[in-house]
């Protein structure tokens, strides 16, 4: 008996959700304490972009049912002597979702001790970075011979439909064989309108037609039959992704890809920009690259499964499948 199925590499990410900003007063107007003109988008997280570990305000928000309550409002999550409501412009705890906050100026971060320069806050705030670093560090980018290519939509008007998806086919480098080591978002305008950027490698052996080259067009949320291998991604809360074992691109790897972008909520039709991913890759190939195991066959009475000539024990298959099934997305 031959049982074909596919096992896809599980990429685990802790996602931050922008709509949580609407659950607190001035949620989109919380300034970075030491970076002028920067907003702290993930108010409940240590990461200014959101995602990752929650700070004490984020923990208190979760325990309050992820809504603005009077009990949550009168808390002092960062222990700086001001309540959460006072810091977010609702000192009397009367704000309700959908309404304008009583105060919209002088907003401070309810999860960071303020005044930021006060000596009493120096220890509590020692983890905060005040330089212009985007927070993305990847040792692989320091390697010799690293190259990059930015794959992006041309200047495009963001569609007015809520949470629209657009796709575009593009070429990957073909002047040699390369292994991807990292990706970073390319956002020519405010990234508040972009929810997610995905890059799928294409199987050129398939005769199935795909999207026009370098021309964005509306597409569905489903994975395309011909371009179905996720090789790069960005979403809210990520400043980039460092790949442990990146995919092979170039002459012997993926030579074409489909870039898919999902926007947030409805925006003005006049809004436009260019969005995509910058790929970083190296000609120094690892022994193993990221891949997909497909077409595992277990014959009747046998305890091993063949995968292109290599056998793995049935127990190993069970452990592998169990691990993949157990792999989950943590939402905070």
| 303-311, Cβ contacts within 8 angstroms, sequence gap of 24 or more | none
> Binning pLDDT at 50, 70 and 90, where does residue 239 land?
confident
Residue 172 has which token pair?
């990957």
pTM beyond cutoff 0.75: no
Count of other CB atoms within 10 angstroms of residue 74: 13
Examine the pLDDT at 205 and tell me if it is beyond 80.
no
Tens digit of each residue's pLDDT (9 = 90 or more) over 309-319: 333 333 333 33
151 closest CA partner among 202, 116, 219, 77: 202
Can you give the pLDDT at residue 154?
83
pLDDT cut 70: percent of the chain above it: 69
Residues 25-40 pLDDT 10s: 999 889 888 876 678 8
* CB-count exposure of residue 81 (10 Å: 0-12, 13-18, 19+): exposed
- Domain 135-282 indexed as CATH 3.20.20.70: no
Residue 200: how many other CB atoms lie within 10 Å? 23
pLDDT band at 231 (very low <50, low <70, confident <90, very high): very high
How many angstroms separate the CA atoms of 78 and 155, rounded? 42
Q: How confident is the model at residue 127 (pLDDT cuts 50, 70, 90)?
A: confident
Q: Quote the radius of gyration of the chain (alpha carbons, Å).
A: 23
Which structure tokens are listed for 258?
Answer: 């489909």
SS3 86: helix
Express each pLDDT in 131-181 by its tens digit. Answer: 655 667 888 888 888 999 989 888 777 776 666 888 999 999 999 999 999
pLDDT at 291: 53
For residue 63, the Cα-to-chain-centroid distance in whole angstroms is 25
Q: Cα 234 from chain centroid?
A: 4
pLDDT of residue 301: 43
| The pLDDT of residue 267 is above 80 | no
pLDDT at residue 235 greater than cutoff 80: yes
Tens of pLDDT, residue by residue over 71-87, are: 999 999 999 999 999 99
């Amino acid at each position: 008996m031959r049982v074909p199925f596919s096992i896809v590499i599980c990429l685990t990410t802790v996602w931050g959700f922008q709509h949580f900003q609407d659950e607190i007063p001035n949620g989109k107007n919380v300034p970075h304490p030491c970076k002028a003109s920067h907003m702290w988008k993930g108010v409940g997280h240590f990461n200014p972009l959101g995602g990752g570990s929650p700070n004490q305000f984020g923990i208190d928000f979760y325990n309050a049912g992820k809504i603005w309550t009077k009990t949550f409002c009168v808390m002092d999550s960062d222990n700086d002597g001001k309540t959460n409501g006072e810091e977010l412009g609702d000192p009397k705890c009367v704000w309700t979702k959908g309404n304008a906050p009583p105060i919209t100026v002088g907003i401070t971060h309810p999860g960071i001790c303020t005044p930021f320069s006060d000596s009493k806050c120096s220890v509590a705030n020692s983890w905060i970075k005040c330089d212009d670093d985007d927070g993305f560090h990847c040792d692989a980018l320091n390697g010799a011979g690293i190259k990059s290519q930015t794959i992006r939509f041309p200047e495009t008007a963001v569609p007015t439909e809520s949470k629209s998806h657009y796709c575009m086919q593009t070429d990957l480098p073909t002047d040699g064989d390369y292994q991807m080591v990292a990706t970073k978002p390319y956002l020519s305008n405010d990234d508040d309108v972009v929810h997610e950027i995905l890059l799928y490698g294409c199987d050129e052996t398939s005769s199935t037609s795909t999207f026009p080259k370098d021309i964005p067009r509306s597409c569905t949320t489903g994975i395309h039959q011909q371009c179905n291998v996720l090789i790069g991604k960005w979403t809210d809360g990520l400043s980039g992704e460092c790949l442990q074992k990146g995919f092979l691109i170039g002459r012997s790897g993926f030579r074409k890809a489909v870039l898919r972008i999902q926007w947030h909520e409805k925006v003005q039709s006049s809004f436009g920009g260019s969005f995509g991913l910058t790929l970083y890759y190296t000609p120094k190939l690892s022994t193993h690259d990221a891949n997909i195991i497909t077409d595992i066959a277990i014959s009747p009475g046998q305890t091993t499964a063949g995968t292109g000539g290599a056998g793995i024990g049935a127990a190993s298959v069970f452990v592998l499948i169990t691990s993949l099934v157990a792999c989950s997305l943590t939402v905070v």
